[in-house]
Amino acid sequence: MALSPTAPDASPVKKKPADRTHWLYIAVIVAVVLGVVVGLVFPGKDGLAANLKPLGDGFVALIKMMIAPVIFCTIVLGIGSIAKATTVGKVGGLALVYFMVMSTFALAIGLVVGNVVHPGEGLNLKDATYKATESADTTNFLLGIIPNTLLSSLTSGQILQTLFVALLVGFALQRMGKTGAMLLEFIRQAQVLVFRILIMVMWLAPIGAFGAIAAVVGATGWKAVLSLLTLMIAFYITCILFVVVVLGTILKVVSGVNIFKLMKYLGREYLIIVSTSSSEAALPRLIAKMEHLGVSKPVVGVTVPTGYSFNLDGTAIYLTMASLFIASAMGQPLALGEQIGLLVFMIIASKGAAGVSGAGLATLAGGLQAHAPQLVGGVSFIVGIDRFMSEARALTNFTGNAVATVLMGTWTKEIDRDRVGEVLGGRRPFDETTMLAGHGHGHGGASEDESLTGPSAAATPGPAGEELSRV
């Protein structure tokens, strides 16, 4: 009697559900193409394309609606993450200092490139402006940061007030012991709700992109298309140079590791990120591969999860270049002082804002709302190309965290240099069977706003105790 090759208790393997974000990605591409066609076929101030502008404006209004809750939740949880990361000693403190320095450097590079390239110059898209009641008086500006009440900071639309209250709440919760931990858990769940709403809003991106692109192209013709392409190309080139020149040089000088060999070692992870526009699966794989490379488990366990929220180099470059593009496109370039103020805001507001598609747009809109509110309407100009730049953001963020892990291992002398040479030389290959479906997801989450869906809407704590809310 022949034996069945399948064990009696074997259960059929569940088929992985289709990734719906691919459909959204395709829809955005189709919407952008249709918007360009409609703008070229029906140009003029009174044409059909101009009448589609409210579609883009409505989408931006929905994004603006989410700014305050997104920033409040992420800043409060980000402060909690800093407190927990520093408790693990030298590794956590050193990692946080490095992340802040590199994020600031990436933002500065974005400002430099944006000021050199001026991709939106000459468009003069002043239609998207709205009158903002601002006072040039420094005293009134500083006093205006203080809200009338704690709750009014979430409803007034004054983003600096939201940021101020979030900082107060975050530091206060640090000193409340178990009660503070319970309140932080409540805010974590609130963040899941906020991000879920943001996900729903992002499914309207094709409509918003169609209306915005059609109106812009209808008003300026091919000049708008060329400007958007210039921004995309400049952004991709900047990310490539940042990875190869900046990160590559630091990695070689500090650790003696060649950046191209490290990238080759992480080739499969890059393919995953490009094919899904998400690094949801890349986080547990990065943890496993960094440990296999020869970095000690404690260093990897602290650096990688913390870096996923605090070391977003690609996102930093995107935020500054997009801001300068919008300012140039609307004929209202930002002065150097305004650019520096925007940079400082982005450094703070982008921490912990990773995990959901749209968080980048919300942070961008929040920065403009705080420092140049007359430019917020210009966010609609880049809705259509935001998804095209998400892969570069994700790849740059991912590479930055891989490099940071090797650097932390080197600085703390928690790395096996001989093993690094063997692994990167191909003499000790990574065992892919250790990364079967479901393995390692206890660490995980998605990177900077590249993912719309994930394995769970619940928050999962990382090894460093950091909250990585990934929905």
Specify the number of domains making up the chain.
1
Residue 370 lies in a domain: yes
In-domain check, residue 460: yes
pLDDT for 279 equals 53
Name the pLDDT band for 22 (thresholds 50, 70, 90). low
Domain assignment present for 248: yes
The Cα 193–Cα 197 span in angstroms is: 6
Q: What is the pLDDT of residue 359?
A: 62
Distance CA 204, CA 215 (A): 17
CB distance 204 to 94 below 8 Å:
no
85: its two tokens? 């990361």
Most confidently modeled range among 312-326, 374-388, 435-449: 312-326
For residue 351, give its domain range: 21-466
pTM assigned to the model: 0.68
pLDDT by residue (tens digit) across 329-369?
Answer: 887 777 877 788 777 777 776 665 454 455 667 777 777 77
**Residue with the larger pLDDT of the pair 47 and 392:** 392
Kindly report which listed range (51-55, 58-62, 118-122, 255-259) carries the lowest average pLDDT score: 118-122
Asked if residues 333 and 246 have their Cβ atoms less than 8 Å apart, the reply is: no
> Which of 72-76, 164-168, 218-222 has the lowest average pLDDT?
218-222
- The answer to whether residue 100 scores a pLDDT higher than 80 is yes
Q: Which helix (DSSP H) or strand (DSSP E) does residue 301 occupy?
A: helix 297-310
- Integer Cα distance of 307 and 98 in angstroms: 10
Whether residue 10 lies inside any domain: the answer is: no
**Tokens in use for 48?**
């059909």
Rounded (10°) CA dihedral 354, 360, 364, 369: -70
11 within some domain? no
CATH number, position 47: 1.10.3860
Q: Is 237 left (phi over 0), alpha (psi -120 to 50) or beta?
A: alpha
In a domain, 333, yes or no: yes
**What span, in angstroms and rounded, lies between the C-alpha atoms of 113 and 344?**
17
pLDDT band (50, 70, 90) for residue 471: very low
In this structure, how many other beta carbons lie within 10 angstroms of the beta carbon of residue 140?
A: 10
Token representation of residue 233: 């190309």
**Which two tokens mark 76?**
């409060």
* pLDDT the model gives residue 254: 93
Residue 232 in any domain: the answer is: yes
Average confidence score pLDDT of the chain: 74
Asked if the structure places residue 15 within a domain, the reply is: no
Number of Cβ within 10 Å of residue 338's Cβ equals 15
Backbone Cα Rg of the chain: 23
Among candidate residues 307, 321, 238, the one with its CA nearest the CA of residue 95: 307
Angle 291-355-115 (CA atoms, 0-180°, nearest 5)?
Answer: 100
Confidence class of residue 200 from pLDDT cuts 50, 70 and 90?
A: confident
Residue 89: phi and psi, rounded to 5, are: 95, -145
Residue 252 has pLDDT above 90, yes or no: yes
- Beta-strand relationship, 460-461 and 467-468: antiparallel
